Structures are given as structure tokens and as C-alpha cells.
Homo-oligomer: A and B are copies of this chain.
Amino acid sequence: MQNSNKTEVKKTKTSKSKVNLQPVRGTRDYLPEKQIFREQAMEKIKRIFEKYGFVPMQTPALEYASVLGKKYGEEEKLIFKFKFGDEELGLKYDQTVPTARVYAANRQTLGAPFKRYVLDRAWRGERPQAGRLREFLQCDIDTLGTYSLAADAELLACANEALAAIGLTNFTWRISTRALAENFLKSCGVADVKLQAAMRAIDKLDKIGEEGVAKELLEKGIGQAAVDTIFSLLKFKGDFDKIRSTIKIDPSVEDALLKFISYLDEFGVKNYTLDLSIIRGLDYYTGPIFEAKAPGFKGTIAAGGRYNHLIELFSGVEIPATGLTIGLDRILEFLKFESKKTKTALYVVGIGKDVIPLVQKFRAEGIPTDLDLMARGLKKNLDFANKRGIPYVAIVGQEELSKGKIKLKEMSTGKEELLSFEQIVAKLRALPQ
């Protein structure tokens, strides 16, 4: 009996210590310093999106599984789907399919062209061992309702500025069009029925390398000669003249590509290069496609393309559209970040004195102010303010206060001054935000 009790106690302890304190694999907790940085970045990106005329629109995290099943192709297996009661629900895999649903439902109200942005999370059931995030923040811009390739080019100009605003300038857009990719593969000898399979294989070039792609192409029944031609032409990256001299580019395909490029030039986008290996994984792209890569950055910084047939799945009528996504969480990992630990400017400590009404007075003046809630001694409070990164501490003693003064300590220098309430307010208001 005693023995069994002992085991009982042990079990409880074991189960307590076994509580998993880590976030779900592939997701992250954002502690204050990182979250402040993240929110600053989001704020900067939003301002640029708005400067380009995009307006915010947000859709739920939850969607009906039938909506999420639209047009993702192979990626569908990565959708977090579940049954809840009698409903089949899931978490959105990207912002594009929900946007298509909302636009189809509201296009009379929203009009055309409709330029919207969203900063929201998406969820993908990636294998955690691959180091990929399963919950991540996307910054999306989309222009719906126009065939004009100026809309596509504008997306890149806007993303260039948004990325520059958060400190990322050393990157290049690899551009192509879906038609060019098809034209290229056909010229290399890939049969029409095998185009989709070939594109999916080539899309994995960054992930599995030339050898892996070649293997997959052969497995899909594409002949060795075609595979050899594909890789010899992929080496021409960027050099459109060389590509044209080797394979026959359809005039309409060339026109669309050159039109897109001329718009890029008009919008002042210079950091692009033609790349036949750009395919974009999702099946829904129809026109220009683009991916931004940076030296040392594993994966894609931003990517997108034109998807003229996606909204039709919801609306029943063709509605042209083009969009672009910036994968912010991975970029913020890549950038060296320097962030404030807090926005609090002042920490108030009372020496044997309750300071709450004074703290409220500082706050009423708009000064971000915190106070000692633990009735700790002065040294502990100074250490605390220092650790929190609060730049100033107000030390409030009965004697000074009776003279209308408060001692203000600047934490970075240790300098102390006897100042009035108004003087402290004026000083802290003048601090850089």
C-alpha cells in the first residue's frame, strides 16, 4: 500500500516535469525583443504597401476544406485539415486561395482593379526535420481584375521598397513566364502531357540539385536527350539572346515577356534576371512568375506570379490576377536584428513612498512609464530597469518631492539630476522614439 502510494507520487512528479514547454515543432514563440523587431518590420512593410495603393483585407485562419482543396495540386497534403463536428475545416495554406474566395464573393463591392495587402500567418504541415516553419507570417500584395502586366511589374517595385525598408537590398529577382517555361520544355523535347510533371521536377532544383532533378525527369518518362538539352539551356540563365538562338521562342510568348520586362524598367526595377529554371511550385500560375533570392539566404525571400484562372474556380467567370508574397519570418531570421527591449521610457521607484498617482500623471502626459510593483530596494530596482532596457529611472523621495523635485537617473551614463515633473516630461518627450 505504502509502496503503491510512493509510485503514485513519483508519477505525478514525472508527469509534471514532462510537460512540454516548447512550442509545437515548426512554430515559434516570439519573446519581446524579437516581437518588437518583428512588429517594427511589419509596420514598415505596411507603410510601403499603402504607399503603392494597396489596401488591407484579412481572411480567417480557418477555411472550409473544400475551399482549401482548390488548385493547390501536390501541396494539398501539407494542409492542416480536420473534422470538427460535421464540418471539414482547415488552416489556410497561403493568402491567395482565401483572397480568391473573398474577391469572388464581393467583386461587385470591391470593383476592379482591386489592390489588396495582408500581413497574416499561414500554416503548412511541413516535415519538421527539414527545418521549415509550419506557422509563418506572409506579407502579401495582390492586384485583381486586370490583365495589364504593369500590375505584375508594380508588385516587384513595391516589394523592392518594402524589403529595402527592413534592410534587405542585396537580392535579385529571377523572372520568367509560365508560357516561356512551357515553350522551353517543349523545345527541349518534352511532350505536352508531361509538361506539368517536368515543371514540378525542375522547380525542385534549389532543393535537390541537378542530379536529383535529372533523376526525377527520367523517372517521369522524359528521355535522356530532352533532359540533357534542358540542363544545357538552363546554363544560359539571364541571357535571352543565347536562349533565342538555341530554341524557338513563340512570338506571343516573347512579346509577353518583353512587355513585362519593359514595365519593370518603367517602374525602376533593375535587380532582375531571366531564369528558365523558375517554375513556381503551385499549379495556379499562368503568366509572369518571379522569385527573389539573396546570397547566403537559403530559400526564397519573396515570390509570386500571375494566376488568371484561380478566382474563376470560385466565381465561375475568369478574373485575371497577380500576386506576390514576402516570407517575413525567415527574412527576420536572416537579418541581423537590433531592437529595443521595451518602449518604456521611465521607471519610477518610490523610497518609502507610494508612487502610483505620480506614475499615472506621467502616463497622462503620454510618457511610457512603468513602476516598482514588488516593493524592492533601490539597487534591485535599478538592476531591473537596466535589464529591461528602460533608459531613465525616477527616484521619488519624500524630501525631494516636498520641494517639487524628482531625482532622474540616466541609466546609460549613471548621471543624476533633480528635476521637476514638467522638466522630466519635456526631457522624455524629446527622446527619439
Nearest CB in chain B to that of A22: its residue: B105
Query: Is A39 part of the contact surface with B, judged by Cβ < 8 Å?
Result: yes
CA distance A16 to B315 in the complex (A): 8
Residues of B close to A29: CB separation below 8 A: 57-60, 102, 105-106
Q: List 7 A-B contacts (CB under 8 A).
A: A21-B101, A21-B105, A23-B60, A24-B62, A61-B121, A111-B384, A263-B356
A interface SS class: mixed
| Contact present for A24 and B60 (CB under 8 Å) | yes
Q: Which residue of B lies closest to A16 (CB)?
A: B316
Q: Do residues B104 and A21 form an inter-chain contact, with CB atoms below 8 A?
A: yes
Judge whether B80 and A27 touch: CB under 8 Å.
Answer: no
Cβ-based interface call for A413 (8 A): no
**A109 CA to B366 CA, complexed, in Å:** 28
Contact of A344 among B24, B50, B81, B83 (CB under 8 A): B50
Pick out which of these stretches binds chain B: A143-151, A213-221, A284-292.
A143-151
Q: Which residues of B contact A28 (CB under 8 A)?
A: 60
- Is A89 within 8 A of B51, CB to CB? no
Instruction: Annotate A108-122 by CB proximity to B: 1 below 8 A, 0 otherwise.
Output: 011111011000010
Among B31, B63, B314, B387, the residue within 8 A (CB) of A23 is B63
Query: Considering the chains assembled together, what is the distance between the CA atoms of A199 and B347 in angstroms?
Result: 40
- 0/1 interface trace, chain A 141-175, chain B, CB 8 Å (1 if under): 00100101011001001000100000000000000
Residues of B with C-beta under 8 A to A249: none
Write the A302-341 contact mask toward B (1 if CB under 8 angstroms, else 0). 0000000000011010000000000000000000000001
Rounded to whole Å, the gap between the CB of A345 and the closest CB of chain B is 9
Q: A31-B106, A66-B20 are in contact. Are A371 and B53 (CB under 8 A)?
A: yes
Beta-carbon contact of A82 and B80 below 8 Å: yes
A322 to chain B, nearest CB (A): 10
Residues of B within 8 A of A342 (CB): 53, 55
Q: Tell whether A67 is near chain B: CB-to-CB under 8 Å.
A: yes
Residues facing B in A34-85 (CB within 8 A) are 35-36, 38-39, 50-53, 55-64, 66-67, 70, 80-85
Interface residue? A368 (CB, 8 A): yes
The answer, among B19, B52, B388, for a CB contact under 8 Å with A363, is B52
A101 to B20 Cα, complex, angstroms: 8
Does A295 interact with chain B (Cβ within 8 Å)? Answer: no
Give the chain B neighbours of A363 by CB distance below 8 A.
51-52, 161
Q: Tell whether, in the assembled complex, residue B370 and residue A53 are in contact, meaning their CB atoms are under 8 Å apart.
A: yes
Contacts A21-B314, A123-B62 given; does A267 touch B369 at CB 8 Å? no
Q: Supply 14 further A-B pairs (C-beta < 8 A) apart from A23-B62, A51-B363, A61-B91.
A: A16-B313, A20-B67, A23-B102, A28-B60, A29-B57, A30-B58, A31-B57, A31-B102, A53-B347, A53-B368, A146-B373, A148-B373, A154-B373, A266-B354
